[in-house]
Structure 1
Amino acid sequence: MRLHRLTVTAFGPFGGTQTVDFDRLSAAGLFLLHGPTGAGKTSVLDAVCYALYGGVPGARQSPGQRLLRSDHADPGTLTEVVLDLTVGGRRLEVTRLPEQLRPKRRGTGTTVEKAQSRLREYDAATGTWKALSRSHQEIGEELAQLLGMNREQFCQVVLLPQGDFARFLRAGAEDRARLLGRLFDTGRFAAVERHLAELRTAAHHRVRDGDERLLALAQRMRQAAGSDASAPDGTVLDDLSAGDPGLADAVVEWAAQARSHARERLDSTAAAHLAAEEAHLAARRRLEELRELHRRGRRLADARRRAEALAAGAARHEADRARLERSRAAEAVAPLLEARERAEAERRRAARAEEHARSLLPADLAQASGERLAELERAARRELGTLEAARHAEERCDRITAELARLDHESGADEELLREAEEWLAGWEAARDARQRDVDAATEAASRAEQLARHLDAAARRLEAARRRDALTAEEAAAHAGALEAHERALAARQDWLDVRARRLDGIAAELAGELADGTPCMVCGSPDHPAPARPGARHVDRRAEEEALERHRRAEDAHRQAELRRQTVRERLTEVAEEAGEASVAELADRVAALEAEHTGARRTAAGAADARAALERLRHEYEARLAVRRDAEQRTASRTSRREVLLAERSGLEEQVARARGGAASVADRARGLERRADLLAAAAGAAFEAEAAALRLKETDARLADAVWHAGFDTPRAAADALLAAHERRELQRRVDERLAEEAAVAAVLADPELAGADGLPPTALAAAEAELEAAVSRLKAASSAETAARDRCAELDRLSARALADARALAPLREEYDRVARLAALTAGTSAENERRMRLESYVLAARLEQVAAAAGARLAHMSGGRYTLVHSDARLSGRGRSGLGLHVIDAWTGSERDTATLSGGETFFASLALALGLADVVTEEAGGVRLDTLFIDEGFGSLDDQTLDEVLDVLDSLRERDRSVGIVSHVPDLRRRIPAQLEVVKGRAGSTVRHRVP
């Protein structure tokens, strides 16, 4: 990796834009970065790190990047870092802008500008830069892959912080382990240690869980075995605990003994249960026999009581039976009694109907016979039939009269329609011409509006151009005045610089004499004697004043060029705008635009009525066609009605003669027909009522004859006696039920008393049944106890078998778990350094770090030997430490003068510096190889040279020169004055009130 150019803007102490040309500085191989404290030497390195990784080293890294912004920067200037470098054979340019506050583009206040990143690559074939990415993540991944190291490694390898390595030399094993772990990313080995420890813990938990399950099963088997005296001793289980090697064998053996004792107990309880069942069956049979004998005795006593009750109710039973027989005889007469009542009621109803029908007839017909009334009714209906045709003729006359009235009404409506149509058609042509003129005017206005719109757009553009022309004219005058003023300032600044330079040249001898010292050769003549050195005059200025004047001159020239550029830009824009605007003034063009807008608005308003005018014309044409159709239809209907009227009048004249003849003296034929129809209906009703009354009287006489014959045959004297003997349905059912129940009870009692099984059933002692029941209850209790004992014994055997099977399965499954735990625990103890097999008690991560530290010590030892003139050499030590410290991470220094080996913590201040420098350079080589062999062409060494004497400093610089021989450039960050004389290529950081600046001093 080689750095070419770094440009920072508003970054850290740099308020403006500063550029560091690493190509110029690296040409000498060794360059110095110096400046006063707080000027920003370290900020240059921070900018390099920020460009590559988006963050600054270690403790200077903030949660957000807003602290990177310079307090000296202008609010409108954004913080930006641009780094040009070559890495992996590719020329890249990285641009980073952190998240920062900037003024709002509109309004007042500030807003957050998001972080930005850009990556470009230089194409040597075309000589141009090609954009690659604007993504933070993509750029970070691309650079990390090319560099082959993370930010922590980069800061330790490229930006060598001497203070960190001095602490590293004196640090303990744990501190060294943390630093080496970050650099070489050995976290994966620590993760292996943790993983093995976790596996050991998990395996231990599985084994312990298995032991606890076995112990729980043992306790459950102990509970299942119970407190039987024949059970095995359960105190054996109390002595077992999780983790005992023989736990599984002891539990399995005890379970086998418990199962054997449980089966013996089951056999004894089964025999006792069988004996209890036999005793229970015998007691049940005896009780059932006694209960049957007791039941027969109760049945015989009950039958005797029922026989006595039957004898007491014999008289009532005979009365019920006689009454039921008379009711059955009267039931044969009941239909005729009901028929006689119906015939009497029908005769009375017919007599009343006849009386009413005769009361409606005329007095001369009230006493006529039925035959006479029927004959008169037939005559009236014959006469009514002759009036049917005349009645239809009368109805037709009425319809013809109504139709003639309707025709007269329609004639009046059509005459009104004809009159309206004629009046409208008379004004048709004038209305059509008026609508057509409206359409033509709207069409012409639309065309005019389009033309005016084009003229209005052109006029508006000219007006806008005229306004810009006037504004740019004023702006051009101001730019011209500014350019003149900037030119005058540039001339004044140039003259001032030339004056300062002349004054310095006049006093250059005094400036050179100021650097002379006794015994030191003169830089001009080489003499160590200085008898008469020149003295500065009153007008003498130093080099710094000349450089400041030159800088002011350059800034004035830049301001003049910028002013001229602005004036030229404004003049070009003014020429373009003036050509478009012409010579007319803004007021003239504004009046022209207003006039065109008014005319255009009127034309558009007129053109907007084009559609309405066309629609009105079209509606007028449709109305014309509709009016013609109305007039034509009305004329046709009028002609049709005239012919229809003549036909209807002729028809009505003939019908009126027929109706007059049939009407007679009535008001109309219908009135005469209704009178005849009413007379016929009254005669028919009276004749029918007379015939019905005669028939009802005849039926009543016949019913009385049949009733008298039936009463005699049923054995009753009169119909009233038969009616009295009849019973209601519910009374008859109640009598029948009592008789049937009496007969059934007599049969049942007789059957019980005649049963031979009941003979002698009443000789059972009263206490025999109670004694048999008590004997059965005792047998049931003994059977339940025996059954419970057998069930408990059987359940105990089943539970012990089930739990024993589970215990055996768990014991078999626990064996491989215990083997796995032993194997994992051995590996975990070995990697953790606690195993006896690990002789040096080194953890796995410490072992890997020790190997890396051994490589670093070997690389650093050669450089330390050169720096110390062959006296000191760094070596790695893997000796065991007392206490809990890590082994394998020791560093010793061998003193060739004394032949002794001692700890690096015993080195003096100067010795510690070049030892730590050698260690840093050796670590850089090892980390570079670890990162994939990425070549590091640019290195920085930060501070630490002030503790060295002249000879040691020369030796250190010789080592650094050896790096230059490998085409490397080394930058030393220091404010030691002696280094400015020894290192000609320098980058100076100058601190000022407006922020820091950089200066290149390259021979």
Structure 2
Amino acid sequence: MLDAICFALYADVPGSRSKRGLRSDHAASDAVPCVTLELTAGVRRFRIRRSPEFHRPKKRGTGLLKVQASVTLEEHLGGRWVAVSTRHDEVADVVKDVLGMGMDQFAKVVLLPQGEFAAFLRSTPEDRREVLERLFDISAFSDVEAWLAEARRASGADLEQARSALATELARVEDVLADAGPTHTDLPAAAPVDLPAAAPVDLPPGPPADLSVPVLSDLPPGAPVDRPVPALADLPVADVPGHLGEVARHLDARVTATMAAFDTASTAERAAADALAAGRSLDDLRVRGTRARTRLLELEAARSTHLGHVAALGAAERAAALAGHLAAHERAVDDEASARARSGATRDALRPTPLADVADREVGPLLRRLHDLDETVASLAREAEDTSARAHRRAELEARCEALRTRAAELRLDLDTASTERDGLRAEVEARAAGAGRVAGLELLLSATRERLAQLDAADDDLARAAALAPRRSALREAALDRRSELLDLRQRRLDGMAGELARSLAEGDPCPVCGGTEHPDLATVSDPVLPSDLDTAEARLEAADAGLRAVDAEAEALTTRARTRHAALGGASRDTLEADVAQGLSRLAAAREDAAAHRALTSRLAGVDATVDEHLASLAAATAHAEAASALLLELDRADEVASTKVAELRREHAGCPCGSDDPSAHSRAARLLDDHRAAVAELAAARTRAGAAQSALDAAMSAAGFDAPDRAREALLPDDEVARLRARVATHDQDASAARAVAEDPEVAAALVADPPDLEALRAAERAARDELLTAAAAQEDAARTLRALERLLPLVDTACTALVTATEHDARVRDLADTTSGTGPDNTLRMRLTSYVLAARLEKVATLANERLAVMGGGRYVLEHSDERAARGARSGLGLRVHDQWTGRVRDTATLSGGESFMASLALALGLADAVREEAGGLDLGTLFIDEGFGSLDEDSLEQVLTVLDGLREGGRAVGVVSHVADLRARITHQAVVHKGASGSSVEVRTGRRADEPAA
């Protein structure tokens, strides 16, 4: 029952039992496990119906189907139940809002598990803290503890990050100074600076690093003398930025010194470079002068060759002016020879023709005579082509006429065959049409016969069902008789027991309702009285039995009547007759349907044959028409041949006097073409002779002007273009070399250099390299010093920020760590080692002890008092949640473990009630009118049990209903209202008993 209450409210059960095992193993497979709880909270009344998740058999097939958990919440409003929600989360919110507590608190406030609170009484402070944390809401204080712990971790991380940041920046500074070279400085020794007393400042681990200023080993005289200084790791954090500032100032001085050294080295390097450049210039002038003089001597030795090249180049240039005339004369001579050859070829082409002996002067008149007859020859050629085309067309038309005659004969044969087939099909279609028309009527007749047979089946089924009701009717009649006998028996017993009922209502001095007497010496008694409610129940049973019997009688009568009606509608037809009619109808319908199918097939085939006949008729008509058209065309061709023959004879007479001497049109055309070619060749020969004479005259005039007396000499002087270019280049190169060498030799600077002493270039180069090396060394020193200074200046603000952040983080971490350690019970100032939540729970426990002592003073006769103890636990354990028992009789304080069994039960019960009251106050002062106490009464003696029950009666007198779960026999006699659980092999059952207490007087 207690689990059912918790499940209805919170969808869960307390303790180790799982809510998935709430379904009874004795329940039927299709039974739905559920619990319905009505509760009143304040002025509101609710009803909760909740079912857990379970599995039921599938309605179809085998296997199980999972049914999800469900819940229904209703509120009693206006005299009826109103649905509030069916969602689990919404119902949980309403329950939490109404009760003000979760299931753990509810299980401790309303359901008091005595065994668990006995353990709470004797548990250690740490175990007691876990129980109190589940009962009281101290989340705000635990959040403070967690927040401070997180703040401690965060401040520690910030401190480590600040230390790491400072270590990183100092490492970068050391890297910058280490890369600069030798390290010395003249800074004074730094005095240590004390940091705030919050916590020491830790520098990164590792060996001390040397802090120094790089200097050049070869600084100029006057540079300051340096000495060693302490390392960065040896300096206080607050003194590091100032020390690095001094280092930066000394580095700035060194940058100035290296800049002066660089300027000196730059001046020396420029002087050495200028001396080397002057030596190289003098050496170049001497080399140029020597080369120029040598070149002039070489050119003078090759003078005769040069003059020959000049003469050959002049002759070639003059002959080049005659190249065009020479080429024109050669082309004119070649053209004249070619024209003469073509004229001879055209004359040879005329020899096989009648025109072979024609003179050149007669070629023109003959051509005109030929061209006058060109149209006549063209007409003859056209007539010949038309005659050939008509002959080809006549052959095609004759072949087509023969094919059309053959096709017409074939079509006549196919037409006769199709016509014969069409006549036969028409006869068959008419024969099948009568049978096809009977299908609809036969189908209707068969359907009607089948309906009559179905009515006969239904009537027989109704009679069978009516007969099947007979056993049930007999059973119901017997049941009705039994119920009637039972009612009569109860009525008789009621009458027989009237005297006993009257006797039970009499009291001393009351008059008897039968005789009126006031004395009743011998009252009648009834061992088993019959009440009016028993009669009402028996009458209801009889009425139900009679109603069932009447219903069966009515159903049987209705079935029988319906069967008779159907038999009457059939007119006495038997099943054999109806089945024979159905068989005969099926046979006739099958034959008619066969005729209908054949009729459809023949009709379709007849339509195809009709289409074929029509197609043959159309094709035969088309073939006949095409044959007649071809015959007409042949007649037209014959008439055209006659006309053409007359025209050709007339044209031949016109062409009879043609110079070609032939009737063939092609011979006429060939003669005209040969005469045209010969006339053109004669004209071209005359033109070529004229051009050759003009070219000879122009060539003679040009040779006279160029100084050549014959064309062959001019051709010998001609040279190819590339050869002329090479001669011209040689002559120009000789002249240019001579001019350039003469200019260099006559230059005053070259002449002066030749008479001067030669320079020592190796010595000058060595001096220049030494000066450049010195300049590079000075530049590198200056750049290193400047780079180191710039890097250090960039790092100084970062180091300063890192130092400030480290000091700030150290102070903040010290404050946060001290506060967090104190609240967590590990700080040195927390002498009791109590956590903040334990301190709050200690106050709650002190309140619980006060409330428990109010009940314990009654149950224990005022002997024992529970006391809260905050003494420090041994071996560094946490303190603040101790419980002790103060014995008022002896005045001694002792441990709770020294109590006896009965004393422990009373102390545990008092503590449980005190905890319940304290939790109820913590939950907002909500007063629950029900309390359940689970076992623990068996350890009490009679007096102690009486004292405990007195306390429980006090709770009842305050309006609270108290339920006790127990197996103690004395409690059965003391508690009037009981729910007794009976266990059995088929499951458990509950019996509710109400009555008077054993110590109450009898009625």
Q: TM-score range by the shorter chain?
A: 0.7 to 0.9
Instruction: Choose from 328, 333, 337 the match for 2:322.
Output: 333
Instruction: Choose from 949, 954, 959 the match for 2:951.
Output: 959
Structure 1 residue 157 and structure 2 residue 112: aligned? no
Aligned length: 891
Q: Deviation digits for residues 510-545 of structure 1, max 9, x if unmatched?
A: xxxxxxxxxxxxxxxxxxxxxxxxxxxxxxxxxxxx
Instruction: Choose from 141, 161, 170 the match for 1:209.
Output: 161
Gaps of 5+ in 2: 194-199, 205-232, 488-536, 996-1003
1:571–1:292 distance in 2 versus 1, CA, 3 Å: farther
Instruction: Choose from 94, 99, 112 the match for 2:49.
Output: 94
Report the equivalent of 2:937: 945
Of residues 956-965 and 921-930 in structure 1, the stretch that sits farther from structure 2 once superposed is: 921-930
Displacement after TM superposition at 1:202 (Å): 0.9
Report the equivalent of 1:36: none
SS at match of 1:113: strand
Structure 1 residue 376 and structure 2 residue 353: aligned? no
1:121–1:604 distance in 2 versus 1, CA, 3 Å: farther
Displacement after TM superposition at 1:918 (Å): 1.4
Instruction: Choose from 888, 891, 909 the match for 2:883.
Output: 891
Instruction: Choose from 168, 171, 184 the match for 1:229.
Output: 184
Displacement after TM superposition at 1:603 (Å): 11
1:291–1:664 distance in 2 versus 1, CA, 3 Å: same
Residue 874 of structure 1 aligns with an amino acid whose one-letter code is L
SS at match of 1:58: coil
- Cα distance in 2 for residues equivalent to 1:656 and 1:241: 139
Q: Deviation digits for residues 314-347 of structure 1, max 9, x if unmatched?
A: 2221121111111112112222322233233333
- Give the % identical residues: 35
Instruction: Choose from 47, 57, 60 the match for 2:4.
Output: 47
Structure 1 residue 302 and structure 2 residue 291: aligned? yes
Task: Give runs of aligned pairs for residues 916-927 of structure 1, distance below 5 A.
Answer: 916-927=908-919
User: Does the Cα contact within 8 Å between 1:218 and 1:237 map onto a contact in 2?
Assistant: no
- Cα distance in 1 for residues equivalent to 2:38 and 2:689: 145
Residue 45 of structure 1 aligns with an amino acid whose one-letter code is L
Residue 169 of structure 2 aligns with an amino acid whose one-letter code is L
Report the equivalent of 2:531: none
Displacement after TM superposition at 1:291 (Å): 1.0
Displacement after TM superposition at 1:749 (Å): 0.4
Q: Deviation digits for residues 53-100 of structure 1, max 9, x if unmatched?
A: 333322223xxx554444444555455444454456233132223344
Report the equivalent of 1:57: 14
SS at match of 2:967: coil
Task: Give runs of aligned pairs for residues 480-499 of structure 1, distance below 5 A.
Answer: none
- Cα distance in 2 for residues equivalent to 1:255 and 1:112: 82
Report the equivalent of 2:339: 350
User: Does the Cα contact within 8 Å between 1:469 and 1:574 map onto a contact in 2?
Assistant: no
User: Does the Cα contact within 8 Å between 1:913 and 1:944 map onto a contact in 2?
Assistant: yes
Gaps of 5+ in 1: 1-43, 495-553
Report the equivalent of 2:923: 931
Residue 954 of structure 1 aligns with an amino acid whose one-letter code is E
Displacement after TM superposition at 1:933 (Å): 4.2
1:960–1:476 distance in 2 versus 1, CA, 3 Å: farther
Of residues 316-325 and 346-355 in structure 1, the stretch that sits farther from structure 2 once superposed is: 346-355
Displacement after TM superposition at 1:590 (Å): 11
Residue 161 of structure 2 aligns with an amino acid whose one-letter code is D
User: Does the Cα contact within 8 Å between 2:462 and 2:562 map onto a contact in 1?
Assistant: no
User: Does the Cα contact within 8 Å between 1:82 and 1:96 map onto a contact in 2?
Assistant: no
Task: Give runs of aligned pairs for residues 356-505 of structure 1, distance below 5 A.
Answer: 356-363=345-352, 365-388=355-378
SS at match of 2:708: coil
Structure 1 residue 167 and structure 2 residue 122: aligned? no
- Cα distance in 2 for residues equivalent to 1:680 and 1:445: 98
Report the equivalent of 2:278: 289
1:271–1:862 distance in 2 versus 1, CA, 3 Å: same
- Cα distance in 1 for residues equivalent to 2:622 and 2:192: 124
Task: Give runs of aligned pairs for residues 547-946 of structure 1, distance below 5 A.
Answer: 654=643, 656-663=645-652, 672-762=664-754, 768-814=760-806, 816-835=808-827, 841-946=833-938
SS at match of 1:185: coil
User: Does the Cα contact within 8 Å between 2:167 and 2:203 map onto a contact in 1?
Assistant: yes
SS at match of 2:74: strand
Q: Deviation digits for residues 751-797 of structure 1, max 9, x if unmatched?
A: 00110111231356566211111111111111111111111111111
Residue 263 of structure 2 aligns with an amino acid whose one-letter code is L
Structure 1 residue 200 and structure 2 residue 152: aligned? yes
SS at match of 2:183: coil
- Cα distance in 2 for residues equivalent to 1:994 and 1:332: 145
1:590–1:916 distance in 2 versus 1, CA, 3 Å: farther
Displacement after TM superposition at 1:679 (Å): 1.4
1:930–1:275 distance in 2 versus 1, CA, 3 Å: same
Instruction: Choose from 312, 329, 348 the match for 2:301.
Output: 312
SS at match of 2:184: coil
TM-score (structure 1 length as normaliser): 0.74
Report the equivalent of 1:510: none
Q: Deviation digits for residues 792-818 of structure 1, max 9, x if unmatched?
A: 111111111110011223344455544
Report the equivalent of 1:1001: 993
Q: Deviation digits for residues 562-618 of structure 1, max 9, x if unmatched?
A: 9x9999899979979996997799999999999999999999999999999999999
1:591–1:711 distance in 2 versus 1, CA, 3 Å: farther
SS at match of 2:980: strand
User: Does the Cα contact within 8 Å between 2:439 and 2:593 map onto a contact in 1?
Assistant: yes
Report the equivalent of 1:529: none
SS at match of 2:990: strand
SS at match of 1:380: helix
User: Does the Cα contact within 8 Å between 2:51 and 2:70 map onto a contact in 1?
Assistant: yes
Of residues 630-639 and 769-778 in structure 1, the stretch that sits farther from structure 2 once superposed is: 630-639
1:223–1:729 distance in 2 versus 1, CA, 3 Å: same
1:757–1:709 distance in 2 versus 1, CA, 3 Å: same
- Cα distance in 1 for residues equivalent to 2:285 and 2:300: 23
Displacement after TM superposition at 1:952 (Å): 0.7
Displacement after TM superposition at 1:356 (Å): 2.8
User: Does the Cα contact within 8 Å between 1:459 and 1:593 map onto a contact in 2?
Assistant: no
1:974–1:307 distance in 2 versus 1, CA, 3 Å: same
SS at match of 2:984: coil
Displacement after TM superposition at 1:663 (Å): 4.2
SS at match of 2:101: coil
Of residues 163-172 and 333-342 in structure 1, the stretch that sits farther from structure 2 once superposed is: 333-342
1:960–1:777 distance in 2 versus 1, CA, 3 Å: same
Of residues 917-926 and 670-679 in structure 1, the stretch that sits farther from structure 2 once superposed is: 670-679
Report the equivalent of 1:146: 98
Residue 121 of structure 1 aligns with an amino acid whose one-letter code is E
Displacement after TM superposition at 1:309 (Å): 1.8
User: Does the Cα contact within 8 Å between 1:879 and 1:887 map onto a contact in 2?
Assistant: yes
> Which protein, 1 or 2, shows the higher relative CO under an 8 Å CA cutoff with sep ≥ 6?
1
Report the equivalent of 2:72: 119
Instruction: Choose from 160, 166, 171 the match for 1:219.
Output: 171
1:651–1:373 distance in 2 versus 1, CA, 3 Å: same
Residue 149 of structure 2 aligns with an amino acid whose one-letter code is A
Residue 306 of structure 2 aligns with an amino acid whose one-letter code is H
Displacement after TM superposition at 1:912 (Å): 1.1
1:737–1:465 distance in 2 versus 1, CA, 3 Å: farther
- Cα distance in 1 for residues equivalent to 2:446 and 2:253: 121
